[in-house]
Amino acid sequence: MLMVKCFLFYLCIGLNIVLAGNSFSEPVTYKIKLDNKVIRSGEVLSVLIDLKIEKNFYVYSSNPEKSLSPTEIEWEDSSLFEIVGILEEPIPQTKFSESLKMEIGYHNSEVNFSQKLKISEKLSPGNYKLNGTFIYQACDPIKCIPHWDDFSLEIDVEPGDARSSFIKDVVTDFNLDNETEKLRSLSQVKSISALIEFFLMAFLAGLAALLTPCVFPMIPITVSFFTQQGESRQGKPLKNAIIYTLGIIATFSILGFILALTLGASGANQLASNPWVNLFIGVLFIYFALSLFGMYEIEVPAKLRQFSLKQEGRGGVIGTLFMAVTFTLTSFTCTVQFIGLLLVAASQGQWFWPMIGMIVFSAAFASPFFFLALFPQYLAKMPKSGGWLNSVKVVMGFLELAAAFKFLSNTDLVMDWGIFTRDSVLAVWSFIFIIMSLYILGKISMPLDSKIKSISIRRIILSSLAFFFGVYLWLGFSNSIKIHGLIESYLPPPVLLESENKEDNWLLNLDDAYEIALKENKPIFIDFTGYTCTNCRWMEINIFPLPEVSELLENNFILVKLYTDGKE
């Protein structure tokens, strides 16, 4: 339940950051000050926060049990002091949130927070700065605007022993040493708990990313590549599988961490939607497909082979790592949403959180492909594997060729070529599967094929499936039938959105949505979508049209689609 609440919270943040840009005045103003700037080591001072909240706005309580985003202070360097007690507040107002299923505490007028700090007894006399971040959300009935405001307070530590008048109130309220130790322990437990929750979130995100459509084409690619590895005796199967898995983990982790440092959480999306990256992947898939057809053998250059230290790993290690990098790039289109959410969540923790999150995410994501890389190699090394194994590779080549057009269409969508449209891609897919069906029956042969002496029932069944699927796609191309939503999500949209301001019941301009929302007094529902986003199209084709969903959206919201790639 907590993970669901956290997911809803981060989703709301993503939506509301856009809405925040249209606020005309600050809904919350505040001052942060100290009750005493001149202090001695071992004494206690109070940090005072005076908030003034405008009408119709509120901020959440500092009680973590009363909010998913409690008002709090994060301190940059706690070696100068010890935190004594929680961020204190007046008794908040409460209301029950139906969406979060919990009691929410809040303040909607002037309110004063305070936090006590005990200056370290080891602190030498001098001037110091207490740096922190004031975290709160300013909410009105339709949106919340998250704030992470940095601040700095100066103190002057003077010589002398701690004065009892500066600590007696604290000692009277509770035993300072015992309570401080409890608070320190609670703080450590909270940090460990938050890290465990983040760890679990990263792991579940990695598993969930396996269910995205862009991962499916990598299954035949992985199987075909490591089948070739097994046939050519390049390396040991277990070693190759481990290298492949570690390559995926390392590439995901390094790439995600670099994007987090340079471009933030949006960096992954920029890479996934880049037309040149998609064009490179599309051409690469065609190159792989022709190799599987037997047109040529992919070999690592001699200089790179000599670079490898172990003879049995020459080419195998480098080629396997290259496949791992390719896998990471091809799956980025669909995993970017999980990675972006992960990097946003990591920004709320310590500096090492993004790296830990990416390692855990990629480890969970790569684990099934360890077995996909392992078993084909053992299968290929079995005696008397026969010509059927080459037929499997050729079939995988057809699938790779079909996958290539998905990435070529992504490039077309962004660069407006008008070549790889929905109809042209659907027609090419139909042709590929019909040709595949003829190949399985032996009507078409490839250079490395063995002569088929008899057609087995298995070949007839597989050929029939490929043929009927090709016909099914052709009927969708001719609009004779409606293509299944999962297949449609791989295709470009039927019509490119250029100057139109409305798609069905969806607006395409946020400013227009604001005007209508004010007139009709409705909240705005934003669909952050993309021309190259397979997950987005799957949602729009399969979920939004459901009667119970469409009725809810159309009757209660002003609907907006904002495209995050290909346009300004």
Residue with the bigger pLDDT between 385 and 419: it is 419
Mean pLDDT of 377-398: 64
Residue with the bigger pLDDT between 46 and 215: it is 46
pLDDT band, very low/low/confident/very high, at 347 (cuts 50, 70, 90)? very low
For 73-96, write each residue's pLDDT tens digit. 988 877 788 888 778 888 888 888
Provide the pLDDT for residue 381. Answer: 52
Lowest mean pLDDT among 64-73, 212-221, 234-243: 212-221
Beta-bridge partners for 133: 74, 150
Mean pLDDT of 407-414: 83
pLDDT at 183 over 50: no
Give the orientation angle of helix 388-415 with respect to helix 275-292, to 10 degrees. Answer: 160
**Highest-pLDDT range among 161-175, 261-275, 370-384, 532-546:** 532-546
Lowest mean pLDDT among 131-140, 240-249, 370-379: 370-379
Mean pLDDT of 304-315: 42
pLDDT band, very low/low/confident/very high, at 516 (cuts 50, 70, 90)? very high
Residues 205, 289: Cα–Cα separation, whole Å: 31
Residues 536, 528: Cα–Cα separation, whole Å: 8
Closest CA to 232 of 381, 449, 371, 386: 381
Residue with the bigger pLDDT between 370 and 381: it is 370
Residue with the bigger pLDDT between 21 and 270: it is 270
Amino acid at residue number 363: A
Amino acid at residue number 362: S
Residues 244, 221: Cα–Cα separation, whole Å: 13
Provide the pLDDT for residue 470. Answer: 92
Give the orientation angle of helix 218-231 with respect to helix 275-292, to 10 degrees. Answer: 40
SS3 sequence of 421-473: CHHHHHHHHHHHHHHHHHHHCCCCCCCCCCCCCCCCHHHHHHHHHHHHHHHHH
Residue with the bigger pLDDT between 339 and 399: it is 399
Residues 244, 166: Cα–Cα separation, whole Å: 62
Beta-bridge partners for 115: 47
Provide the pLDDT for residue 14. Answer: 46
Spatial strand order in the sheet of 59-60: 59-60, 102-107, 93-97
Lowest mean pLDDT among 183-192, 272-281, 506-515: 183-192
- Maximum pairwise Cα distance, the chain: 100
438 Cβ contact list (under 8 Å, min separation 6): 444, 463
For 18-46, write each residue's pLDDT tens digit. 444 443 457 888 999 988 888 888 888 88
Q: Which residue has the tokens 């159309």?
A: 554
Residue with the bigger pLDDT between 372 and 361: it is 361
Closest CA to 249 of 333, 353, 328, 343: 328
Provide the pLDDT for residue 384. Answer: 46
Q: Which residue has the tokens 């679990």?
A: 200
Residue with the bigger pLDDT between 337 and 236: it is 236
Provide the pLDDT for residue 435. Answer: 94
Provide the pLDDT for residue 514. Answer: 92
pTM above 0.75, yes or no: no
pLDDT at 339 over 70: no
For 518-554, write each residue's pLDDT tens digit. 999 899 999 988 877 777 888 888 889 899 999 999 8
For 492-503, write each residue's pLDDT tens digit. 876 544 444 556
Given a contact cutoff of 8 angstroms between Cβ atoms, the answer to whether 153 and 129 are in contact is yes
Q: What percent of the chain has pLDDT over 70?
A: 70
Residues 385, 396: Cα–Cα separation, whole Å: 17
Q: Which residue has the tokens 């898995």?
A: 245
Q: Look over the chain and give the mean of its residue pLDDT values, rounded to a whole number.
A: 75
The torsion region of residue 294 among left (phi > 0), alpha (psi -120 to 50) and beta comes to left
Q: What percent of the chain has pLDDT over 90?
A: 11
